Amino acid sequence: MITSVTTEFFKRFDKQVFPLEPLSLLAGPNNSGKSTLLQAIMVWNLAMQKWCEKKGPDSGSKARERSGAPITRSEFTALPLPSMDQLWTDTHTSLRKDEVEGKSAGAPRPLIITLEGQGGNTASWKLGFEFRYSGPEQIHVKPVAAHLGDLEKARREVSVIYVPPFSGIGGNETRYDRPYQDMLVGQGKGGDILRNLLLEVSEKSDADDWKKIKDIVEEVFQYRLLPPVYGGAPYITCQYLKGIPVGGSLGGLPPLDISTTGSGFHQVLLILAFMFARPFSLILLDEPDAHLHVLLQKQLYDILRTLCHKRKGQLVIATHSEVLIDTTSPRQIVSFYREPHPLASEGDRDQVREALKRVTSLELLLAENAKGILYLEGNSDFDLLNAWAEVLDHPLKEWFKSLPFWHNNQGRNPKEARAHYFSLKAVRHDLSAVLLLDGDNRNMPDREISADGLTLLRWERYESESYLLHPVALERFITQQKGDLFASAALNYLREQIPPAFFKDPLQTSAFLRSEPASKTLLPELLKKADLSKEITKSDYFLIARQMEKSEVPIEVGEKLSEIQKTIGTIPITEPRI
């Protein structure tokens, strides 16, 4: 297996070391370098193939150490390039002043990709390839001289499959040779060779592989996959049955072309087709979770891990999936926030083991790029704060628009939030936190909850929903939903329940508002009077907050937002998902 990849002047990284495990999940924002790592491995793999073909032991060449093998842009199937200089960091193929010690400006910039690995017999190996720019249409590549002794070892150990994100499937597909298939894959057009791959599996002497694909498809989708057909006709026929007939017949089900299925089916089928059609020691998957429902993401992930384990293969996955991240050990996750690095190092093993009793891998990943974490008692609190930040045009609204790092304490004892925070600090020592509690927790002493780095805040009123109780705002909301008549009935109910002083100054916090659980009593009944109880539940109360004017939001709400901002900061993660 490959234990590390080192790149020098390759694409976005001047020099970077990527550690890898038998299973490695690459997680982080878009454009952070996840796909760059996959591409580096593919470029290294292509370099080894071309050098061995043109200059290696089987080529008859006697100048293996001195000269490089030429690779033209048309031969470069690892990824699409308009010009070969696109491989170099900032497209600079010559060194700038003082860029590399001992080398002058204008000298060739040494693009090097090095893989290190551990063989099945525990023998380790290291092999780097150096790339020299020869012009927009050609590069030369050769092994690093000091690593030539490990070339055959690496050649035996490494067999790479790259599966790009699914980008569609054509209505027809003829048979393609392997080089053309590789070119389409490098261009991100894996779907264009799906039928070719399935045909290759079905024609293999080992019929068991085709049966395994069929069985997985039946288990996951309840479809029967029919053997592909290519009898010299222009196109490969690949069909399925929308169901599983009994016996060997079609059971009256019409055969349908695989192009008529959904993108999730295509994504799963493409990955399976690659795994069974091509021998591999390493499979690279770029966003295999794309197009898949969360339940199917987990199901596919389990299938992939099982297949790789049985075939003694290595799996490297670039993903945004929270499902995959949360079901993977932190030691198997390479974080691409800031510089790529393992989410948990060996030195943190004991701390992480304890932390994971309360903290998920996704939370550890979010903690990487956050100044602090916000603890709330439920989703309703989060949605209300988000809405009020917009209404007040508060700076914290930018935090909500990013990937806010917060934890739902789900109404549990506040001590649970403190314990969770302690677990996070075991792996991120400088992380700050805010715990915002409802007013009904005021009898709990601060000393039982507080901790170093944890700011404790309490609502003066009974709960966050209590700050929705503004008669003008509620009347406006109900009028927009149901009209004046229902709004009038609802406001009459409110006047019967709340002391008159509230209507004179609804922004003030009275003893009544400190003791009344608005989300359980006043608001449900108010919405019932307005004939909105079926349409607006507690999880929808943020819609009321969105309709409020600045002047209708109590000052305390803005103060709480400012306290949160001051503690956790507003370092935005611009990526909408992990």
- pLDDT single digits (tens) 346-394: 555 555 556 666 788 788 888 887 889 999 999 999 999 999 999 999 9
- pLDDT single digits (tens) 49-61: 999 998 877 666 6
pLDDT(576) > 50? no
**Residues present in the chain in total:** 578
Q: Distance (Å, rounded) from C-alpha 225 to C-alpha 241?
A: 6
Q: Distance (Å, rounded) from C-alpha 278 to C-alpha 255?
A: 27
Terminal-to-terminal C-alpha distance of the chain: 27
* Higher pLDDT pick, 406 / 441: 406
- CB-count burial class (<10 Å; 0-12, 13-18, 19+) for 188: middle
In the prediction, which pLDDT does 571 show? 47
> Residue 466: which region, alpha, beta or left (left: phi > 0; alpha: psi -120 to 50)?
alpha
pLDDT(573) > 60? no
Residue 409 per-residue DSSP state: -
Q: What percent of the chain has pLDDT over 90?
A: 58
Give mean pLDDT, residues 307-315: 89
In the prediction, which pLDDT does 441 show? 67
Contact 164, 192 (CB under 8 A): no
In the prediction, which pLDDT does 578 show? 34
In the prediction, which pLDDT does 120 show? 65
pLDDT(30) > 90? no
pLDDT(289) > 50? yes
In the prediction, which pLDDT does 211 show? 94
* Higher pLDDT pick, 535 / 441: 535
Tokens of 230: 């290519």
- Considering the chain, what is the average pLDDT of its residues? 88
Strand order in the sheet with 124-135: 13-19, 2-10, 111-118, 124-135, 138-143, 69-72
* Higher pLDDT pick, 237 / 67: 237
Strand-pair category, 23-27 with 333-335: parallel
Give mean pLDDT, residues 335-353: 68
Strand order in the sheet with 333-335: 160-163, 282-286, 314-319, 23-27, 333-335, 341-342
Give mean pLDDT, residues 276-280: 90
Q: What percent of the chain has pLDDT over 70?
A: 93
Q: Of 28-32, 294-298, 317-321, 457-461, which gets the smallest average pLDDT?
A: 28-32
Q: Classify domain 178-347 by CATH architecture.
A: 3-Layer(aba) Sandwich (3.40)
CA 65 to chain centre: 42
Q: Distance (Å, rounded) from C-alpha 70 to C-alpha 54?
A: 8
Residue 273 banded pLDDT, cuts 50, 70, 90: very high
Residue 18 banded pLDDT, cuts 50, 70, 90: very high
- pLDDT single digits (tens) 506-532: 999 999 999 999 999 999 999 999 989
The residue to which tokens 């019967």 are assigned:
496
The residue to which tokens 């009347």 are assigned:
475
- pLDDT single digits (tens) 381-440: 999 999 999 999 999 999 998 878 999 998 788 888 988 998 888 778 889 999 999 987
Q: How many CB atoms lie under 10 A from the CB of residue 501?
A: 11
Question: Cα-flanking dihedrals φ and ψ of residue 439, to 5°?
Answer: -65, -20
Q: Distance (Å, rounded) from C-alpha 286 to C-alpha 439?
A: 47
DSSP 206-264: -HHHHHHHHHHHHHHH--EEPPPB-SSSSS-B-EEESS--SSSS-TTPPPEEGGGS-HH
Q: Distance (Å, rounded) from C-alpha 303 to C-alpha 213?
A: 11
What residues does each domain of the chain span? 2-17+30-147, 178-347, 360-578
